[in-house]
Amino acid sequence: MTLSHRNYGIDAAAAVKVGIGEVDDRPQGFAIFFHNYSTFLASRGLYLEDIYVRPSARGRGLGKALLIYLAKIALERNCGRMEWSVLNWNKKAIQFYL
Three-state SS at 27: strand
Per-residue pLDDT of the chain (98 residues; tens, 9 = 90+): 777 766 555 455 667 888 899 998 899 999 999 999 888 889 999 999 999 999 999 999 999 999 999 999 999 999 999 999 999 998 988 888 87
- pLDDT for 32 equals 93
The domain total for the chain is 1
Q: How far is CA 24 from CA 2, 30, 32, 94, in A?
A: 8, 15, 21, 28
CATH (domain of 82): 3.40.630.30
Closest CA to 58 of 8, 9, 16, 93: 93
- pLDDT for 3 equals 74
> Backbone phi, then psi, for 68, in 5-degree steps?
-65, -40
**Domain ranges, residue 71:** 2-97
